[in-house]
Structure 1
Amino acid sequence: MYNFDVERPASVADAAAAMGREDAQALGGGQTLIPTLKQRLASPSVLVSLGGIAEMKGVCMTDDGRLAIGGATTHATVTTKAAGHYPGLAALASHIGDPAVRNRGTIGGSLANNDPSACYPAAALGSGATIITNSREIAADDYFQGMFTTALDEGEIITEVRFPIPSASNYQKFVQPASRFALVGVFVAKFADGVRVAVTGASNDGVFRWSEAEAALSADFSAGAIDGLSLSGGDMISDLHGTGDYRAHLVGVMTKRAVSAAS
């Protein structure tokens, strides 16, 4: 490690002001950032801890029927507090990492980092969620812009995420055993106006929607509806854990499992 300052703001306004300092970096649960600092892959001079901001924590229903989750809310809290409103999302949160990660990691931190194998990006994109920051609202379809890349501006903070609640949903993850990240993860959500299918862990471009599967499942919400559909392995991550073709195959398998479980 190396020397750096730590700011502990008590409000979003204070956090935004602290993020205005030169070379400042927001700190959520620290499950990605702290290991990154230890490996000297990042070296911010100021860490702005968001863990003490009460207005960024909690789970509640909005007046328009969406589930609102504060950006500093831990995975463990989502697991318990969202279960009665959005069971598919709560189940996803319950299988992120291990108990230590779930009790420290936050939904805002996960979405801000946008790891290509993280689970929450699939939930947000698959749900058509809205990412709310200290300055604006961003639709999930516009938010994710590639591997580790988002629409966030410099110093912008995720304060809340709002999820429309589908009539049926499920997330299926083929786990990489060592990291507990998704080798491939698929989130399926059925709404009155159609089905959304979001895939994480597979693509070189990060989380994405599988539009062909969405069209097929919107017409017939059954696992058999996607028989014959496939994705190109050339667009997929290929590493020591699996080839691009293997990941492309897993997308279909996980999608079928998610649809069957949701049904």
Structure 2
Amino acid sequence: MQTPAPFGYERATSVDHAIELLRQLGPEARLVAGGHSLLPMMKIRLAQPEHLIDINPLAGELGSISIAGDALVIGAMARHNDLLESALVGEHFPILQDAERVIADPIVRNRGTIGGSLCQADPAEDLSAALSALKATATIRSADGDRTVAVRDLHTGPYETVVGDAEILTEIQVPIRDGCGSAYEKVERRVGDWAIASAAAVVWMDGRTITDAGIGLAAVGADHFVSPGAEDALTGNEPTDDVIAAAAAAAASGCSPTTDQRGPAEYKRHLAGELTARAIRRAVARATGTNTEGN
């Protein structure tokens, strides 16, 4: 039977208390909420934190989903199922519900948190690609106050982020802009599995012209989960078949997949391009009101 190494346990009562506990306990302390990423790693001793700080009591402080000004604000303790069932999310950013429908299973979605997923920084993590495509920002709090970073800059490498040892991710802000359409596409070995490849597409349109675009990729070795080349191919153009094909080709050529148990690198590269094209078409349909899926 696999068991974690011994660890201490603390229960935070507020965000400030969690930060103080992180400061006191040092860099070998880890926050835990849903635990669906951290605890399996602890069982095989891939992760061996000396202390766990339970932040589930902070759900009231960090668990809301709301509109503030011109942004959708998602608390870091919001659960995956909260996003999936939120009318606000469905109205403004159906891409997030596309992604949530293919994340794990109901048990994980009921307990896992948005902040936990982002901070795990798994290279195949769905929401990192979707939120990067949406050009969202994240607020990180320390004893010195809040700082804001682009979600695209949150991840510095596999399982690594810019969140410091005594800091906590508190919320994500997704800008609400006119003419937006978004969609997420994923291929997996089985329902709810990590992606073999996935693509997120967001377009902002004025008439038939794409004035701005965000393309996110997961599981295919895209730097910071995005494809700048695909975004450049779309921006300033109408979404013709040729333009979409050029964006898909840029997404495929700009990523660096590896061969593993989920498939060969060239297959993943092909998927990156194909899924990008599919996501762009659905995003454009949603932006222009020609979508027939009902969301």
Deviating more after overlay: 178-187 vs 90-99 = 178-187
Say which is worse superposed, 52-61 or 85-94, in terms of deviation. Answer: 85-94
Which ranges in structure 2 are unaligned for 5 or more consecutive residues?
A: 206-210, 286-295
Structure 1 223/207 Cα, relative in aligned 2: closer, same or farther at 3 Å? farther
Aligned residue among 165, 179, 191 for 2:176:
165
The two structures have a TM-score, normalised by structure 1, of 0.92
Write the deviation string for residues 33-54 of structure 1: whole angstroms up to 9, x where unpaired: 0101111111112111122102
What is aligned with 2:114? 107
CA distance in 2 between partners of 1:254 and 1:129 (Å): 21
Question: CA offsets per residue over residues 111-170 of structure 1, 9 Å max, x none?
Answer: 101100010110121111111111311112322222222211112211101112351000
Partner of residue 214, structure 1: 231
Give me the whole-angstrom Cα distance separating, in 2, the residues matched to 1:206 and 1:30: 26
Q: State the Cα deviation string for residues 164-197 of structure 1 (Å, max 9, x = none).
A: 2351000001113276111111111112541110
Cα 1:171/1:38, change in 2 over 3 Å? same
> Based on CA coordinates, which of the two structures has the bigger radius of gyration?
2
Contact 2:104 2:191 in 1 (8 A): no
Q: Kindly indicate whether the alpha-carbon contact (under 8 Å) linking 1:200 and 1:206 is maintained by their aligned counterparts in 2.
A: no
Whole-angstrom CA distance in 2 between matches of 1:206 and 1:141:
9
Cα drift, residue 6 of structure 1:
1.8
CA RMSD in angstroms comes to 1.9
Q: Deviations over 1:74-132 (max 9, x none)?
A: 10001111223322212212221111110111110011011000101101211111111
Alignment of 1:41-52 (within 5 A): 41-52=46-57
Structure 1 Cα separation of the partners of residues 261 and 130 of structure 2: 26
Once residues 255 and 281 of structure 2 are traced to their aligned partners in structure 1, the CA distance between those partners, rounded to angstroms, is: 28
Q: In the superposition, relative to structure 1, how do residues 206 and 171 fare at CA in structure 2: closer, same or farther (>3 Å)?
A: same
- The residue that corresponds to 2:197 in the other structure is 184
Question: Where in structure 2 are the equivalents of 1:1-263 lying within 5 Å?
Answer: 1-20=4-23, 21-22=25-26, 23-53=28-58, 54-63=60-69, 65-81=70-86, 82-134=89-141, 135-165=146-176, 167-177=180-190, 180-191=193-204, 193-203=211-221, 207-218=224-235, 219-222=237-240, 224-228=242-246, 229-230=249-250, 231-232=252-253, 235-262=256-283, 263=285
**1:213-258 superposed Cα distances (whole Å, 9 cap, x missing partner):** 2122221234542325253498212112211111111111101111
Separation in 2 of the partners of 1:206 and 1:214? 14
Moved more, 8-17 or 135-144: 135-144
Offset of 1:68 from its aligned partner?
0.5
Alpha-carbon distance in 2 for matches of 1:70, 1:176: 31
Q: Percent identity?
A: 30
What is the alpha-carbon distance in structure 1 between the residues aligned to residue 265 and residue 67 of structure 2?
40
Q: Structure 1 or 2: larger strand share? A: 2
Gaps of 5+ in 1: none
Q: In 2 relative to 1, CA 178–259 (structure 1 residues): closer, same or farther, beyond 3 Å?
A: closer
Name the counterpart of 2:208: none
Whether the 8 Å CA contact 2:9–2:54 is kept in 1: the answer is yes
Mapped partners of 1:156, 1:233: distance in 2: 33
Post-superposition offset of 1:3? 2.8
CA distance in 2, matches of 1:76, 1:234: 30
TM-score (norm 2): 0.83
Amino acid across the alignment from 2:234: L
Do 1:173 and 1:184's aligned partners in 2 also have CA atoms closer than 8 Å? yes
